[in-house]
Structure 1
């Protein structure tokens, strides 16, 4: 996913009366001894709602008791099944409970609000200024979007769509929408040149559709209708079967989008977007390992004569999480063939003492067996400085393939994750083809 999307920051805290939202290290709810099972988290299904930008972003989660302790699973249905993100770092103090969200530097801080209800905030600690979004939740099995009646004939939003997104400054980028509709239920995602918007699910009502997702790091809401919104601009011509929509992300991100049916919709080749500067053939770097504290370089003896895959990632990046979910077990199954993987982590802070623990947490959560190094700050300028042989850099993750001589043979931008259905299978097939080809040389 493009890390440079507009995420504006909140300037004032929400007066919700909840303790411990200033930082991960100062939260009183995280300093409570023992972390006993909080009574506010009733086992079973829940529906949460994030209130932001005048919109409601719904999400589903489940509370379970495992080994005598509460565990929360964020649930995201999609094209290829349901994602279940396990959140097991849960502590309480007083009347508030802090649920750390998977591998991300974010949390839900909640308290009971009557029977089987919660009230609180979603807080993102990894922003320059941690921002907070109001949250409510209700226990019980519920639809993601409540069913609504419409006098209009139900629209058909399934299939492949050629889309264009525009930010509030007029800049645009292409996308491919892929949706599956069963009655009023809709699942799907958008693929872009820098990654996908992961598992999206929602509802169709008449000629309108709504989709949302919440993975702990990002909260997305996509809304659209078939046909131009009111008032209609009479100076424009509108193609039939055109979707007109809005995309809301987090506390302040907003873009508009349009889409038309196109079964042949295709994005630019992800293997051609990033390339080396003229005259360059290798990458030269030495970054500190986040585990041992030693340095990591492609010229180290352990990598000589082997095919090496470089994974440019960040612990804050959901698309990187998808790629790591694939790469970690893949490495264990294939390392004996003469292939190695190096993770180059770019984090929100340039301080090793702050960022290395986040990468170590990611390494432990995904059981990563390959080296992960701290490479710099998560922006394109930092990547350009740390890897000066690259002519440009667009997105996290980016995957770089080195042959047995250390030469760069392929640079692949983005990663189409499991939420994209068939595109995910094509992604894995392309990865394996490239490795197999380099191993045979």
Structure 2
């Protein structure tokens, strides 16, 4: 999915309250309503904080609709709670004061430069944008043909992206997501009150805020905010036939060019498609990055799937395109990712996460349009199918459809 975050670069922020390490402060455990302060206003999400058996350590989940996304183990030092998300090189840092947390969300960009966004949380609040009782003017459930438009130079219209919004509304509560040709916006949750729609998502890497107003003839007109400052406009119309381009036709194999790769794993050992472990086997190649939540959604599917199916004569290999091609820096990220998702297949450092550079690393492909992109190779080493993007579990029926198609294709290739 194309990167929509417009990062703010700043020197490493040292919070003054970190020094108080002898405090007897405790963190109230249960659900907190957290917010990030963006240029679009407050971006809310849920936090569920629970103690572990270790003093000063907590288990934390970010809550977005039906998703309970595990953060890394949180630590209370003095009156400061640190909730890391190591995979995305980010953390929530907050000073604890009774029912409140106040601090920042920090996300590393390069070296000692960080994106920093004000963060706060209130214990015991479970609503998203609006407390119950505020009535909506109608029901937005269904499929919405959507167009996002970026701001161009000097106020001129910018690039557009087609999408499909899929929403389910119960009372004034709304859940759903937007599907695009290169991925989805994961689990969105929010509210409708009057003619206003508000949706948000926070997953440690992305912070999304959608605002819209319902117009005549089943239309929506709104603004999309990503991170602290990025902004796009969007419009949508209710359409049960809304669709996207065929994901099998966005990237293709150049005529006469066999697909191959040879890249190092986290330990520096080169792994090649010509290696014996792939010979005579159906092979799934996952073009991805540890920084990419859509890729991690795909990994959550592929890792257990491979564990269950590897004995059938199928292999999976991940080609990771990271922020840097320096193995000393990116290798540990691949190791953390493998440990977190219990990945048993090889994950290789293939280059940097620029799509043009990724295409140069894999010259047999017409292009690399999205992270993730999945390549299916038959027992003879021929590319049989290329799928751009990934419809994650937040898309509901679209995710189920993808899983079904994936398994049917693998069964077909294994039977040949």
- Is the pair's TM-score, using the shorter chain for normalization, greater than 0.5? yes
Residue 228 of structure 2: SS of its match in structure 1? coil
- Map of 2:185 onto structure 1: 197
The question of whether the paired residues in 1 share the 8 Å contact of 2:7 and 2:227 is answered with no
Which residues of 2 match residues 11-30 of structure 1 at below 5 A?
Answer: 11-12=9-10, 17-18=15-16
Residue 63 of structure 1: SS of its match in structure 2? strand
Task: Output one character per residue of 1:248-294: Cα deviation in whole Å (capped at 9) or x when no partner.
Answer: 010222111000011011100001100122222x222210012x431
Which is worse superposed, 312-321 or 97-106?
A: 97-106
- Map of 1:49 onto structure 2: 35
How far has the Cα of 1:39 moved from its partner? 3.6
- Map of 2:277 onto structure 1: 302
Which residues of 2 match residues 59-70 of structure 1 at below 5 A?
Answer: 59-68=45-54, 69-70=57-58
Correspondent of 1:118 among 66, 89, 101: 101
The question of whether the paired residues in 1 share the 8 Å contact of 2:167 and 2:176 is answered with yes
- Map of 1:25 onto structure 2: none
Correspondent of 2:226 among 229, 249, 254: 249
Q: Which runs of 5+ in 2 are unaligned?
A: 153-157
CA distance in 2, matches of 1:130, 1:284: 36
The question of whether the paired residues in 1 share the 8 Å contact of 2:12 and 2:114 is answered with no
- Map of 2:316 onto structure 1: 341
Which structure shows the bigger proportion of residues in strand conformation?
2
- Map of 1:289 onto structure 2: 265
- Map of 2:2 onto structure 1: 2
Q: Which runs of 5+ in 1 are unaligned?
A: 21-27, 228-238
Matched, 1:91 2:66: no
CA distance in 1, matches of 2:256, 2:16: 57
Aligned length: 408
How far has the Cα of 1:97 moved from its partner? 2.8
CA distance in 1, matches of 2:86, 2:14: 24
**CA RMSD, aligned part only?**
2.2
The question of whether the paired residues in 2 share the 8 Å contact of 1:37 and 1:70 is answered with no
Task: Output one character per residue of 1:140-172: Cα deviation in whole Å (capped at 9) or x when no partner.
Answer: 14201123876x862221111100000111210
Matched, 1:359 2:345: no
- Map of 1:211 onto structure 2: 199
How far has the Cα of 1:184 moved from its partner? 0.5
How far has the Cα of 1:381 moved from its partner? 1.9
- Map of 1:325 onto structure 2: 300
Residue 328 of structure 2: SS of its match in structure 1? helix
Which residues of 2 match residues 143-222 of structure 1 at below 5 A?
Answer: 143-147=127-131, 154-169=137-152, 170-222=158-210
Residue 162 of structure 1: SS of its match in structure 2? strand
Matched, 1:389 2:364: yes
CA distance in 2, matches of 1:206, 1:381: 44
How far has the Cα of 1:94 moved from its partner? 4.5
Consecutive aligned runs of 4 or more in structure 1 exceeding 6 Å deviation = none
Residues 288, 258 of structure 1: CA spacing in aligned structure 2 closer, same or farther, 3 A cutoff? Answer: same
Residue 396 of structure 1: SS of its match in structure 2? coil
How far has the Cα of 1:433 moved from its partner? 1.4
- Map of 2:155 onto structure 1: none
CA distance in 1, matches of 2:214, 2:174: 15
